[in-house]
Amino acid sequence: MDMSTSPVGPKMKLVMVGNGMAGVRTLEELLKHAPGLYDITVFGAEPHPNYNRILLSPVLAGEQTVDDIVLNPLDWYRDHAITLHTGKKVVKIDRNARFVETADGVRAGYDRLLIATGSNPFILPVPGADLPGVISFRDIADVDAMIQASSQYRHAVVIGGGLLGLEAANGLMKRGMEVSVVHIAPWLMERQLDEPAARLLQKSLEEKGMKFLLQKQTAELVRGESGRVAAIKFKDGDSAPADLVVMAVGIRPNTELAESAGLHCNRGIVVNDTMQTFDPRIYSIGECAAHRGIAYGLVAPLFEQAKVCANHLAQHGIGRYQGSITSTKLKVTGIDLFSAGDFMGGEGTESILYSDPIGGVYKKLVIKDDKLVGGVMYGDTVDGAWYFSLLRDGKNVNELRDHLMFGQDHCGNLGHSGINKAATMTDDMEVCGCNGVCKGDIVKAIREKGLFTLEDVRKHTKASSSCGSCTGLVEQILAVTAGGDYSATPKTKSMCGCTDHTHEDVRAAIRQNKLLTIPQVQQFMEWDTPNGCASCRTALNYYLISTWPGEAEDDPQSRFINERAHANIQKDGTYSVIPRMWGGNTTPSELRRIATVAEKYNIPTVHVTGGQRIDLLGVKKEDLPKVWADLDMPSGHAYGKALRTVKTCVGSEWCRFGTQDSTRMGIDLEKAFFKMWAPHKVKLAVSGCPRNCAEVAIKDVGIIGVDSGWEIYVAGNGGIKTEVAQFLIKVKTEAEVLEYSGAFLQLYREEGRYLDRTVHYVERVGLDYVKKKILEDAEGRRALYERLLFALSVERDPWVERAREGKLAHEFEALTV
Amino acid sequence: MTKWLEVCDLGDIPRLGARVVNHGDLAIAVFRNADDEVFALEDRCPHKGGPLSQGIVHGKRVTCPLHGWNIELVAGCAVPPDVGCAREFPIKLEDGRVWLDATMA
């Protein structure tokens, strides 16, 4: 039943209490999914429409204005027929009669209620806390009060040396006040920084003129003659002048309203994975909600919650929020700081340190069981996003270890070095080379469309949506433009928007439950869409045929066009045809046939590829079966996530340096693995001596013949991410080359995520794991090789089937009316 | 005025697939979804002219094979934030036969 469109009868009533970022984001998502499902009423205690609270610091610092940070102007509410009550505080929820009531008696009935009341600043219970001139740093009114005070008074004291306190202090200093920061802990930002990083931060803030009173506990705020606060007194007897006191000692979930309505609260309004409170008609999200014991205070997790909540409100009933891991960046201009995860380290962890106190750079990476579990960076945070993604994906970093500290550019990410300091880039500098997107385009889209997540930026600008190598840079631009805490993401990465399951979950389910068709998988795993999308269908098809060769049937409609037509689509809709030339060898007869075909079908371009083959470009689709028939050569699979070329040199047969017959070895490998589908394309090469003319170092499997046998290298890559292949083993015989290479490829076929090249797969699991499976476990290796041979035994040459046997003829025939 | 032209049997179009129908110089993509509904759009993605007929069909959308834009099969418009529409043609299914009106709008 589809209830999301044109409901019959009166609309349901949705009331939202709180008009902040998380709540309004929920409404935006809801309006996308199910416009017109609800009559929506919003109550906000502040007199403003929804604004970006993260950017209060730049407003205080005079770098932006209040207008700049409004996310949803009043027009937005009007355009979506949302009734907005600003400046009205809801004080009562009647759960039986189902209405809410404000302090001044405005009532609104609800079918669904969303509590998004956010949090309150914690006020220290000390004498004088209620004096004029004592404020917190939470909303526009606080910022106004601070700006006002800065024009009349001189001494400001900020209590709290955390993220918010330092941002407030920085802003007040920029407004011309003398600012002291009082902090109870021995160093600043102790929840985000370790001591050395905090000392560097303190030093550079002191150079800007900020004063620090560390390990000081506030005893009292002293009233002056005017009735306003005049000084602060500490427990050790010291005191300091204070015309303005800003308390930034933490926030508390604002649960007052929920508690008064009898909803279960425990350090936040307790919600389940669909963001429902103990009263299922009432949802809660944002800083007021406690999900699995955590009340999040950063934007990205809250937007994840918003997505799930909106989905549920739209009655799709799918999607669960499963928690987030978060990272932090301080928004003080000129200070570069990043921390994530367990940055302190401790038992069972190791730390890699880089410390340059004079240059003001400090980095610490914490590693546990070969995985990055946390890090803190000061002074140079260029690689923050990269570290964060390593951390989030739980990648094995053992092999990166030596280079890890020096960042992504030192780990094989060619082509982008030197241009990845997002903040220093000019607007016309290109960020995404695939889609031609400049920094200015991205900044503009983020500002104008109110984007917060990488996913949003990708959708709107296409930046980093193709090869993905500029992802870190886009994330940095997002951080600089939209505010600091952009980059937290769900703990696990789902396959696509159609499901919450990961690639690994899906593969396991296919194997354990013997699922044989895409609809079976989608039903069993409760897919969110009726028949998936272009991303998941292609992946599922591969997982099925690779798990159950000979049993699961290939679904052409779930193949990308190239693999459906068995040729490469070109920009004008024609196709290219690359016949297989075993090991790069060809014959006069083959060349004659290729020439004849090119002339007969008016093929405009004949091109020699980098993989030692010949490419016929510009073939009309309806000609494909005839071209294949006339060529009478095997499919080169140049269009597929499959075995492509096996590049060879001429080896000992001709070359005066050759030590092994590399051409023969290449042909044997290519014939053995012909028709092999894989998570992504697979390229092999064989060189006959270490001069390596076949360039094996950038192949998925590269073989080098030496006098005493063959060296096998794996997981090289010559594409987007140039990566030198790693040495796996040296073997003696040709049979061993086949078995070890085949076993490695089968391991990748069974465990690689769809669209991961071998380099990504090995990066994820680690070469040690591969060695354990292939080198140490002889029986396992043979079993892997056997499984590969079996899978290949049931595959047929797709060109023969289509050119000679008329398989799927409709694919190549147009209709005419 | 509508001018219906008989195209093919429903069975001639693969489920979750498409066929190209040529009408003079015009190429029209005729789609069939999982529920056996049929749709007809000009075979040109509003983005860079990619042949929509060659895309992957899911729900009531097709993903263009060239750059992955998603196009609504009803009305032919790109799924936001992408902007642009492929021309839609009237199409109907009667007794298992597919009929198309390819007259220029």
Closest among A813, A537, A538 to B18, alpha carbons compared: A813
Alpha carbons A765 and A750: distance in angstroms, whole number = 13
Q: Does A5 touch chain B (CB under 8 A)?
A: no
Nearest CB to B58: which of A529, A810, A816? A529
Q: Does A817 touch chain B (CB under 8 A)?
A: yes
Q: Name the token pair of A683.
A: 């390229």
Contact by Cβ (8 Å): A531, A537:
yes
Does the domain at A560-634 match CATH 2.40.70.10? Answer given as no
Kindly determine whether residue B59 and residue A529, on different chains, have CB atoms separated by under 8 Å. yes
Least confident of A57-61, A94-98, A245-249, B76-80: A57-61
B77 located within any domain: yes
Range of the domain at B43: 5-100
**In A85-106, which positions are buried (b, 16+ CB within 10 angstroms) versus exposed (e)?**
beebebeebeeeebbbebeeee
Using DSSP, state whether A22 is helix, strand or coil.
Answer: helix
> What would the mean pLDDT of A258-270 be, rounded to a whole number?
95
pLDDT more than 70, % of chain A? 94
Q: Does A2 touch chain B (CB under 8 A)?
A: no
Which residue of B lies nearest to A622 if distances are taken between CA atoms?
B20
Which residues on B lie below 8 Å from A557 (Cβ)?
Answer: 14-17, 56-57
Q: Does B55 touch chain A (CB under 8 A)?
A: yes
Kindly determine whether residue A538 and residue B56, on different chains, have CB atoms separated by under 8 Å. yes
Task: Report B:27-46 residues touching A (Cβ under 8 A).
Answer: 27, 30, 34
- Residue-level pLDDT at A574: 96
How many CB pairs below 8 Å do chains A and B form together?
Answer: 81
Q: What DSSP designation does A54 have?
A: G
- Residue-level pLDDT at A419: 37
Which residues on A lie below 8 Å from B49 (Cβ)?
Answer: 573
Q: What CA–CA distances, in Å, run from A714 to A530, A644, A766?
A: 39, 16, 12
Strands (E), A560-676: 568-569, 575-577, 605-608, 614-619, 643-648
- Residue-level pLDDT at B101: 93
B89 located within any domain: yes
Which residues on B lie below 8 Å from A573 (Cβ)?
Answer: 49-51, 54
- Residue-level pLDDT at A326: 67
Q: Name the token pair of A626.
A: 């005839």
Which residues on B lie below 8 Å from A569 (Cβ)?
Answer: 51, 54, 65-66
Alpha carbons A684 and A611: distance in angstroms, whole number = 9
A816/chain B closest Cα distance in angstroms:
5
Q: Does A558 touch chain B (CB under 8 A)?
A: yes
Contact by Cβ (8 Å): B56, A557:
yes
Kindly determine whether residue B59 and residue A817, on different chains, have CB atoms separated by under 8 Å. no
Best mutation site among A31, A458, A574, A817 for testing chain B: the one with the most B CBs within 10 Å? Answer: A817
Closest among A286, A293, A306 to A265, alpha carbons compared: A293
State which CATH number among 3.40.50.980, 3.40.630.10, 3.30.413.10, 3.40.640.10 fits the domain covering A636-796: 3.30.413.10
Confidence label for A409 from pLDDT (cuts 50, 70 and 90) = low
Q: Does B66 touch chain A (CB under 8 A)?
A: yes
Q: What DSSP designation does A379 have?
A: S
Using DSSP, state whether A472 is helix, strand or coil.
Answer: helix
- Spatial neighbors of A665 by CB under 8 A, at least 6 apart, are A648, A651, A686, A703, A705, A710, A734, A737
Q: Does A81 touch chain B (CB under 8 A)?
A: no
- Which CATH architecture fits A134-249? 3-Layer(bba) Sandwich (3.50)
B20/chain A closest Cα distance in angstroms:
5
Alpha carbons A21 and A485: distance in angstroms, whole number = 13
Alpha carbons A162 and A184: distance in angstroms, whole number = 10
Q: Does A814 touch chain B (CB under 8 A)?
A: yes
Tell me: pLDDT of A328 over 70: no
Total H helices, total E strands in chain B: 0, 9
Kindly determine whether residue B66 and residue A538, on different chains, have CB atoms separated by under 8 Å. no
Q: Does B65 touch chain A (CB under 8 A)?
A: yes
Q: Which residue has the higher pLDDT, A739 or A438?
A: A739
Kindly determine whether residue A815 and residue B14, on different chains, have CB atoms separated by under 8 Å. no
Q: What average pLDDT is seen over chain A?
A: 90
Q: Residue A289 forms beta bridges with which residues? A: A269
Kindly determine whether residue B15 and residue A531, on different chains, have CB atoms separated by under 8 Å. no
Kindly determine whether residue B48 and residue A571, on different chains, have CB atoms separated by under 8 Å. yes
Q: Does A565 touch chain B (CB under 8 A)?
A: yes
Radius of gyration, alpha carbons of chain A: 31
A311 conformational bin, left if phi > 0, alpha if psi -120 to 50, beta if neither: alpha
Angle at A102 between CA A306 and CA A146, to 5 degrees: 75
Least confident of A109-118, A445-454, A674-683, B81-90: A445-454
Q: Residue A275 forms beta bridges with which residues? A: none
Confidence label for A321 from pLDDT (cuts 50, 70 and 90) = confident
Kindly determine whether residue A557 and residue B63, on different chains, have CB atoms separated by under 8 Å. no
Which residues on B lie below 8 Å from A563 (Cβ)?
Answer: none
Contact by Cβ (8 Å): B52, B29:
yes
Task: State the DSSP H helix or E strand holding residue A785, giving kind and residue range, or none if neither.
Answer: helix A778-793
Q: How many other CB atoms are found less than 10 A from the CB of residue B51?
A: 22
> What would the mean pLDDT of A785-803 be, rounded to a whole number?
96
- Residue-level pLDDT at A669: 98
Q: Name the token pair of A569.
A: 């689509």
Confidence label for A329 from pLDDT (cuts 50, 70 and 90) = low
Tell me what ipTM this predicted complex has: 0.95
Q: Does B21 touch chain A (CB under 8 A)?
A: yes
Alpha carbons B88 and B102: distance in angstroms, whole number = 10
> What would the mean pLDDT of A291-314 be, rounded to a whole number?
87
Q: How many other CB atoms are found less than 10 A from the CB of residue A288?
A: 29
Which residues on A lie below 8 Å from B84 (Cβ)?
Answer: none
Kindly determine whether residue B58 and residue A531, on different chains, have CB atoms separated by under 8 Å. yes
> What would the mean pLDDT of A513-535 be, rounded to a whole number?
94
Q: Name the token pair of A547.
A: 């798990």
pLDDT tens, residue by residue, A116-174: 999 999 999 999 999 999 999 999 999 999 999 999 999 999 999 988 899 899 999 99
Domain range list for chain A: 12-118+253-322, 134-249, 503-559, 560-634, 636-796
Kindly determine whether residue B6 and residue A565, on different chains, have CB atoms separated by under 8 Å. no
Nearest CB to B19: which of A557, A569, A810? A810
Nearest CB to B20: which of A533, A534, A814? A814
- Spatial neighbors of A271 by CB under 8 A, at least 6 apart, are A277, A283, A284, A285, A289, A290, A291
B3/chain A closest Cα distance in angstroms:
12
Alpha carbons A343 and A377: distance in angstroms, whole number = 10
B99/chain A closest Cα distance in angstroms:
10
B27 located within any domain: yes
Q: Does A532 touch chain B (CB under 8 A)?
A: yes
Nearest CB to B17: which of A538, A557, A571? A557
Least confident of A18-27, A223-232, A375-384, B19-28: A375-384
* H-only helix segments in A256-410: 256-260, 299-313, 384-393, 401-404
Nearest CB to B23: which of A538, A569, A817? A817
Using DSSP, state whether A769 is helix, strand or coil.
Answer: helix
B85 located within any domain: yes
> What would the mean pLDDT of A470-493 be, rounded to a whole number?
66
- Spatial neighbors of A599 by CB under 8 A, at least 6 apart, are none
* H-only helix segments in A153-298: 163-174, 195-208, 256-260
Alpha carbons A151 and A144: distance in angstroms, whole number = 11
- Residue-level pLDDT at A4: 44
Q: Domain spanning A12-118+253-322 has what CATH number? A: 3.50.50.60
Kindly determine whether residue A561 and residue B68, on different chains, have CB atoms separated by under 8 Å. no
Residue located via tokens 């940070």: A69
Confidence label for A2 from pLDDT (cuts 50, 70 and 90) = very low
- Spatial neighbors of A165 by CB under 8 A, at least 6 apart, are A137, A158, A159, A181, A183, A246, A248, A249
B40: Cα separation from own chain's centroid: 3
Q: What DSSP designation does B43 have?
A: S
Task: State the DSSP H helix or E strand holding residue A771, giving kind and residue range, or none if neither.
Answer: helix A767-771
Q: Name the token pair of A204.
A: 């550079």
Q: What DSSP designation does A773 have?
A: I
Q: Residue A579 forms beta bridges with which residues? A: A635
Contact by Cβ (8 Å): A742, A789:
yes
Q: What CA–CA distances, in Å, run from A334 to A143, A154, A803, B76?
A: 21, 24, 65, 49
Q: Name the token pair of A430.
A: 């290109």
Before B81, cis peptide (omega within 30)?
yes
Which residues on A lie below 8 Å from B14 (Cβ)?
Answer: 556-557, 810
Using DSSP, state whether A23 is helix, strand or coil.
Answer: helix
Strands (E), A299-417: 324-325, 327-329, 337-341, 350-356, 361-368, 371-378
Confidence label for A344 from pLDDT (cuts 50, 70 and 90) = confident
Tell me: pLDDT of A487 over 80: no
Which residues on A lie below 8 Å from B50 (Cβ)?
Answer: 573
Q: Are A12-118+253-322 and A134-249 the same fold in CATH?
A: yes
Which CATH number covers residue B86?
2.102.10.10
> What would the mean pLDDT of A754-782 be, rounded to a whole number?
94
Q: Which residue has the higher pLDDT, A521 or A461?
A: A521
* H-only helix segments in A85-224: 140-152, 163-174, 195-208
Domain count, chain B: 1
Kindly determine whether residue B17 and residue A565, on different chains, have CB atoms separated by under 8 Å. no
Tell me: pLDDT of A397 over 90: no
Alpha carbons A327 and A559: distance in angstroms, whole number = 38
Which residues on A lie below 8 Å from B81 (Cβ)?
Answer: 449, 459-460
φ, ψ for residue A607, nearest 5 deg: -130, 140
Which residue of A lies nearest to B68 if distances are taken between CA atoms?
A534
Using DSSP, state whether A278 is helix, strand or coil.
Answer: coil
Confidence label for A342 from pLDDT (cuts 50, 70 and 90) = confident
Kindly determine whether residue B81 and residue A533, on different chains, have CB atoms separated by under 8 Å. no
Total H helices, total E strands in chain A: 26, 39
> What would the mean pLDDT of A743-751 be, rounded to a whole number?
98
> What would the mean pLDDT of B47-63 be, rounded to a whole number?
96
Contact by Cβ (8 Å): A509, A515:
yes
A424: Cα separation from own chain's centroid: 23
Burial class (CB in 10 A: 0-12, 13-18, 19+), A235: exposed
Q: How far apart are the first and last CA of chain A?
A: 37
B87/chain A closest Cα distance in angstroms:
18
Q: Does A161 touch chain B (CB under 8 A)?
A: no
Strands (E), A236-323: 239-241, 244-247, 251-253, 269-271, 282-284, 289-291
Q: Does B19 touch chain A (CB under 8 A)?
A: yes
Tell me: pLDDT of A702 over 50: yes
B61/chain A closest Cα distance in angstroms:
9
B49 located within any domain: yes
> What would the mean pLDDT of A514-541 be, rounded to a whole number?
95
Between β-strands A614-619 and A682-687, what pairing exists: parallel, antiparallel or unpaired? unpaired
